[in-house]
Amino acid sequence: MKAAFDPPWREKPTRRGLLAAGLAISTAPFVRTAQAQSPQPTTRITRPIPHSGEPLPVVGLGTAQTFPSAGEAERPALAKVIDALIAGGGKLIDTASTYGNAEAVIGEILRAANARDKIFLATKIEVRSAKAGADEFAQSLQRLKTDKVELLQLHNVSRASQSLAQLRDWKAAGRCRYIGVTTTDDSDYGAMEAIIRREKPDFVQVDYSMDNRGAEKRVIPAAAEVGAAVLTALPLGRKSLFAAVRGKTLPDWAKDFDAATWGQFFLKFLLGNPAVTAVIPGTGNPEHMTDNLGAASGRLPDAQTREKMAALLG
């Protein structure tokens, strides 16, 4: 499962000078820069995890794109991304055993910063035999330098018969606090829906963005019916969302729901769906992390406004 695409062209600002309040609309076509960020508020929007009521900040961090191949030279920049997440009121980091070096990089950064207790840590294991799954989870905990995670997810489910029994045993043993299932393949939505309705997981993670709304038809409604929290993978699209607005000015009416950049516009669209618990855009840029967190402040669009937003994409 891949985190949201973090377009390389966002690195090059074209215009500067947003109002410091963060409610002005960006005049840059799509670039997110330090000047385009909202100031850090004292609070961020949270939503309750349905099965427990625990509040979770609605913007987190995905790690499939830039963390897997990180070496020693890249780790300081990624540490700044996690610093920005925490400083901005976020706490959710989503990773997986199959994301290359990601778990090890995250574990080392959190250890060095003594920040493990500030993070809601989510990882994933593949669909394997019980022994292979147990070995995989043990390796994940070792890499993450922790004895438990907040959320353990069964990654890329594809068969309706797949069970969460082993994950439930680990939850009962205190090795994870929540369990979930994930998919980013619409051909697996049928199996995903069946598993959700039968297993009633704590969390469901699915690909969902303004230009990819298929999950609204089956997966997200099923999650809502069983009281599962919903995490949206690829919330900024794979590559097409920023490309679709390249060269365009953010509409003036975006200020009605406090979106100051295109990135916040895209994320607030998803958060305007009350069934969505949190979005997990991926980035290796701390300025983009701070900008993403701006979507967790201020007002969110209502249903009518969300359709107006979607219409911009044609």
**Residues sharing a CB contact under 8 Å with residue 133, sequence separation 6 or more, in sequence order:** 125, 126, 166
Q: What is the arrangement of strands in the sheet containing 278-279, beginning at the earlier edge strand?
A: 61-62, 92-94, 120-125, 149-154, 176-183, 203-207, 229-233, 278-279
Look up residue 107 and give its amino acid.
G
Q: How far apart are CA 239 and CA 297, in angstroms?
A: 25
Q: What pLDDT, on the 0 to 100 scale, is given for residue 13?
A: 35
Q: What pLDDT, on the 0 to 100 scale, is given for residue 238?
A: 83
- Domain 8-311 CATH class label: alpha beta
What are the sequence ranges of the domains in the chain?
Answer: 8-311
The residue-averaged pLDDT of 77-84 equals 98
| pLDDT tier at 125, thresholds 50, 70, 90 | very high
| Per-residue pLDDT tens over the stretch 224-237 | 999 999 999 999 99
| Per-residue pLDDT tens over the stretch 84-123 | 999 999 999 999 999 999 999 999 999 999 999 999 999 9
Of the listed ranges 7-11, 97-101, 126-130, 144-148, the one predicted with least confidence? 7-11
Q: What pLDDT, on the 0 to 100 scale, is given for residue 52?
A: 98
First to last CA, the chain: 27
Beta pairing, strands 55-57 & 46-48: antiparallel
| pLDDT tier at 71, thresholds 50, 70, 90 | confident
Q: What pLDDT, on the 0 to 100 scale, is given for residue 313?
A: 85
Torsion on CA atoms 170, 176, 178, 180, rounded to nearest 10:
-70
Higher pLDDT, 12 or 200: 200
Residues in the chain: 314
